Amino acid sequence: MRQGWSRPGSSAGLANPKPASKTNRLDLKGKAAGGSPAPIRRLSKSRPAPEQNGKQYSPDSPTSPAQGSPYPLGPSIVKDGVNMAVFAANAEQLSVCFFTEEDLQQGRVTNEVALDPATNRTGDIWHVMLPQLDSSSLYGFRTSGPHQSSNETAVGHRYDEAQVMVDPYATGLISRRVWGEHSPELDWGKVLGLATTWPQAAGIVPSQAPPFDWQGTRPLHLPREDLIIYEMHVRGFTQSPTSATSYPGTFAGMVEKLDYLQTLGINCVELLPSQEFNELEYYSAIPGTNSYRYNYWGYSTGGFFAPMARYAQAAAEGQPGQQIIDEFKMLVRECHKRGMEVIMDVVFNHTSEGNEKGPVLSMRGLDNRIYYMLAPEGEYYNYTGCGNTLNCNHPVVRRFIVDCLRYWVETMHIDGFRFDLASIMTRAHSEWDTMPMNQPGPGEPGETQSAIMAEGAGVPTGTPLSDPALIEMISEDPILRGTHLIAEAWDAAGLYQAGAFPHYDGQWSEWNGNFRDTVRAFIKGSDGTWASQFAAAMTGSPGLYSSSEPREEDWWANNGGRRWKGNRSPLASINFITAHDGFTLADLVSFNGKHNEANGEQNRDGESHNLTWNCGEEGPSRKPTILRLRARQMKNLATALLVAHGIPMILMGDEYGHSKGGNNNTYCHDSALNWLDWRQAEAAGNGYARYFRHLVRLRLSRPELKRTTFGNSHHICWHGEEPGEPDWTETSRLVAWSVSTPVGEVNGAAGLYIAFSASHQPISLQLPVWPGRVWQPVVDTGKPAPYDMLVADSALSQASINTALAGTRMWTADHLYPLLPWSAIVLKSIRE
């Protein structure tokens, strides 16, 4: 993530985007064919009537702009045209700017409609109804008002009438149409836009097109305990030439490959940011390489209601904005057809406008004081590490966020959200009050107004709130409360709320970073109390989510979060071992340290504390013993993830062993480092990838692994080398347990025995004796493929399985099982 903002570089010598075809060229109503576009108009207090094609609007014309309505915010179709409404409390003047796409690419306004505050403003909302507005039009807003740099009484205001702002409620945005391609070189500073990497963007106008055909699909409402989440990048999923898709790197391309995810057993995809962002936001050459830096992950939103246009094949083909929206809807529909839910990773903690050095793109030019968390001198609080912080708990901003989430659920059929740096949403907002600076004397002009910082929530700005209004609104909203709500329960300023994030009757789950660290540490054989911590992680992290007693070092849980601590279920925990911003599973077992040299920052970036083990050699190896150990450790890690109570999240590519060469911070790479390698996935089909597929199915089929409450000694028994004798010392390398099924026999089995060894020595386990039953192996990571997973398929026949089982009966008949070094087993209890 970036620190602040710097002006993007130019794009000399790089390809320009394809122009829209003539059949798709926009034709703004009232602009004569071949006529010259209207110049950019500067607002003034004595405004002339707005012009269109050189003619003034006639007040009595049926096509003249009308008063409009203050609600709903954004553009909306009404009986006689399109209504537009935007919040801009402190703007002195506001106009709607219209563009053809041709003019937009040249950074010039086609037509501009100035609004009359006497008729087009209600309270803090400006509004207008535009009759007969062509749906191919593009639009934005221009405002005029005070700026703190030139007005000492205007602290916090940053109005700039030279800019045209994107509507925060725009449901689609058009600027560049093709990922990574630059706009034409223009005379920046004299036209709209910042650079070839950051041209002017504009919103689309809603159309009367036929409604999208959902083909009878609806959101699935899968129970949380059944979820298998797959964290993925839309572009990275199919961008590699090895995908052989017709539309690589797009929503449409992803649809082509959904059957692959269904084969894996995935029933929920979590899309890295797919709302509009600028992938060229910090485009620059990476020192020491021939590569350029991209905003690949997309954690810098520019349009919260709009799907990322350059993830759409429709955009590249020059199709209207509605087709971009429909392509995203098609993706959601096709996921639902296959029994897969769609969760969006959303960034309601900062925007792409950065700090005070950043551009005026949208919220900053509409009402900077309202939308951003500001200090008394107008500085930006930076709890995000990205230059600004969204003023989430301000009434206007929280209404915006809830409106946005509802739009994605109601209109786009999204099933849930993962909130990036969600702790930001619990911080107290900043607020400004106006007050007289002085009282006028006789004959003097009226009093002047200044502004003072008020405590927006009755406490200093940025204070973590025990009952944050935004989180409560989301949790109690009748549309949102039935969706999956996942919090990344920390922020970049040190607030850590994991285990005590405001959850409102358990509606929220949390990314469990403690699970990640514990599993990594135990599996690699670290010294310390990892055995007991690993046992807790495998059973839903009861210390975090069941116990109401916080640890002494948990500041939040001992203070404002005390009421939210404990009395939750294992489903509060999103279990993960890897995620987009860190090592892949293959790299965890191949590198002792990060190797981020390709980022051009002398390997200073990225997390240094990774709990990895290279199994004896750093990086790629040809030694069979090391390769075998790495393969076993990958299976051990995957097994821990998928047998643990809670909700598992898998990183895209981990299902076949994708490597990023030890780079744990690939935020800037649009390359094979981040792209799924379809050839490798296919090549691993009968080895590790086979194991992974069947492991997912094992979890889905076994109720013992999907508990919705924390177990006790009647449900879970801990063992060591002998039954009922676990070893929790700091030198322990063995964790074993048996878990009973809550519903009787399932597929002929009732209960599981699970064991993990991080020792370099083999262990002979004495198994617990259950009357009338015997233990039968299903998983043994110490065995070579395909015998590591005893499931019949094209790689392993039932006859071969029967032979393998016969070989284990000499052990299991005496309630014994040999556990090889660095291995894991899953046995099922069957009748004798």
CA distance 711 to 738: 11
Give the three-state DSSP class for 145: coil
Q: What is the DSSP letter of 742?
A: T
CA distance 439 to 442: 10
> Which segments of 213-300 are extended strands (E)?
229-232, 268-271, 275-277, 284-285, 292-293
- Whether 488 is catalytic is yes
Q: How far is CA 450 from the centre of its chain?
A: 40
- Out of 420, 431, 654, 655, the active site residue is 420
What single-letter amino acid sits at 363?
M
- Whether 420 is catalytic is yes
Going by their DSSP bridges, the two strands 268-271 and 341-346 should be labelled as parallel
CA distance 149 to 158: 8
Q: How far is CA 301 from the centre of its chain?
A: 11
Question: Under a CB-based contact definition with an 8 Å cutoff, are residues 534 and 711 in contact?
Answer: no
Q: What is the DSSP letter of 357?
A: T
Q: Which residues of 537-557 are buried (b: 16+ CB within 10 A; e: fewer)?
A: bbbbbbbbbbbeebeeebbbb
- Out of 161, 488, 491, 587, the active site residue is 488
CA distance 373 to 416: 26
CA distance 516 to 488: 13
Positive or negative, the CA dihedral 550, 553, 558, 564 is negative
Question: Under a CB-based contact definition with an 8 Å cutoff, are residues 288 and 282 in contact?
Answer: no
**Which residues does residue 249 pair with via DSSP β-bridges, in sequence order?**
none
Task: Give 702-706 contacts, CB < 8 A, sequence gap 24+.
Answer: 702/741, 702/746, 702/749, 702/752, 703/741, 703/742, 703/743, 703/746, 704/739, 704/740, 704/741, 704/742, 704/751, 704/752, 705/642, 705/643, 705/644, 705/645, 705/739, 705/752, 706/225, 706/226, 706/645
Catalytic positions, written as ranges: 420, 488
